[in-house]
């Protein structure tokens, strides 16, 4: 066991930010109990179980990271990954200045103060969850692949609890559809997940190389994958690749919130919603995340 501390760029609300990485308290991959975020991180050559909790305040944030099966040499690789996943170094200052231009957005920035942009460990995770969300009839933030992870992924038992790594490309490529079918993942989802792994394994789609492509091209490529909807592609660009210029305009939850809270009507043309979203330029995705936080608070996500 090894423990170290990090000081994120303030302001930072750890609990609120971490909640967007976990679909719920019963998940065994991304575990968040309201105070602690626990994740078995697959690094380049090892897996480390990280337990992250907050010691500080929003204005003076400090995190304590406990590596349950790690050592001092693991600080840098785990810290780098968690920094990206939780947006620890992201400066919210310019965003909050932007929020002052809009009454609704200003209210969101106050109500969810310190929420930072989250990012999945790898883009593949976002794509897999995008596929899972379609079959499970859930938002991608609430979709889970724990049922597959507990059977096929690398696991660590800690204090009587089982923690699983996120099912990776090899997991899906190395098993038959029937072996991947575990409720709530049905055979259709399992086949699509296996197909996703196949195109990545065979090099038909290079998820790393896509990082260098323009956002429009990235979106088009992701939408071409079987089982990935337009919304799934948009959320992957945002939460898998960390591109904050991407607003998930295909999300009817966001459309409805903007229609009601910005325009005061349930019948608003999509083009008007797009105009409102586009004014936030390279921080559009962060605006979306704050709306999602409001939806989650009201039990609508």
Q: What is the pLDDT of residues 189-217, one digit of tens each?
A: 999 999 999 999 999 999 999 999 999 99
CA–CA separation, 215 and 187 (whole Å): 31
CA–CA separation, 282 and 179 (whole Å): 42
Token reading at 165: 């790594």
CATH 3.90.1200.10 for domain 123-229, yes or no, is no
Residues whose CB is less than 8 angstroms from the CB of residue 5 and which lie 6 or more positions away in sequence, other chains included: 55, 62, 63, 64, 65
Q: What is the pLDDT of residues 151-192, one digit of tens each?
A: 999 999 888 889 999 999 999 999 999 999 999 999 999 999
Q: What is the pLDDT of residue 159?
A: 81
Q: What is the pLDDT of residue 46?
A: 86
Q: What is the pLDDT of residues 224-270, one digit of tens each?
A: 999 999 999 999 999 999 999 999 999 999 999 999 999 999 999 99
CATH code of domain 2-87: 3.30.310.20
Per-domain boundaries in the chain: 2-87, 123-229
Q: Name 51's bridge partners.
A: 38, 66
More confident call, 166 vs 56 = 166
Q: What is the pLDDT of residue 34?
A: 92
The answer to whether 117 touches 242, Cβ cutoff 8 Å, is yes
What percent of the chain has pLDDT above 90?
93
CA–CA separation, 258 and 41 (whole Å): 36
pLDDT confidence bin for 43, thresholds 50/70/90: confident
């Amino acid at each position: 066991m090894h423990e170290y501390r990090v000081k994120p760029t303030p302001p930072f609300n750890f609990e609120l930010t971490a909640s967007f990485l976990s679909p719920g308290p019963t998940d065994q991959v991304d575990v968040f109990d309201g105070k602690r975020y626990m994740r078995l991180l697959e690094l380049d050559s090892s897996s480390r179980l990280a337990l992250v909790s907050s010691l500080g305040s929003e204005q003076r944030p400090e995190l304590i990271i406990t590596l349950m099966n790690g050592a001092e040499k693991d600080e840098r690789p785990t810290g780098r990954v968690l920094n990206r996943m939780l947006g620890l170094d992201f400066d919210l200052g310019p965003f909050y200045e932007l929020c002052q231009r809009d009454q609704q957005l200003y209210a969101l920035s106050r109500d969810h103060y310190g929420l930072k942009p989250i990012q999945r460990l790898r883009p593949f995770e976002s794509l897999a969850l995008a596929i899972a969300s379609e079959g499970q009839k859930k938002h991608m933030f609430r979709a889970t692949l724990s049922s597959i992870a507990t059977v096929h992924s690398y696991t660590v038992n800690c204090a009587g609890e089982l923690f699983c790594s996120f099912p990776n490309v090899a997991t899906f490529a190395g098993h038959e559809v029937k072996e991947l079918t575990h409720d709530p993942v049905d055979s259709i989802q399992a086949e699509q997940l296996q197909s996703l792994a196949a195109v990545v394994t065979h090099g038909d789609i290079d998820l790393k190389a896509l990082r260098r492509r323009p956002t429009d091209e990235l979106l088009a490529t992701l939408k071409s994958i079987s089982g990935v909807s337009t919304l799934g592609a948009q959320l992957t660009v945002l939460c898998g690749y960390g591109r904050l210029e991407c607003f998930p305009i295909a999300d009817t939850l966001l459309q409805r919130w903007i229609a009601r809270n910005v325009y005061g009507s349930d019948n608003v043309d999509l083009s008007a919603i797009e105009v409102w979203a586009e004014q936030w330029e390279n921080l559009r995705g962060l605006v979306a995340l704050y709306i999602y936080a409001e939806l989650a608070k009201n039990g609508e996500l």
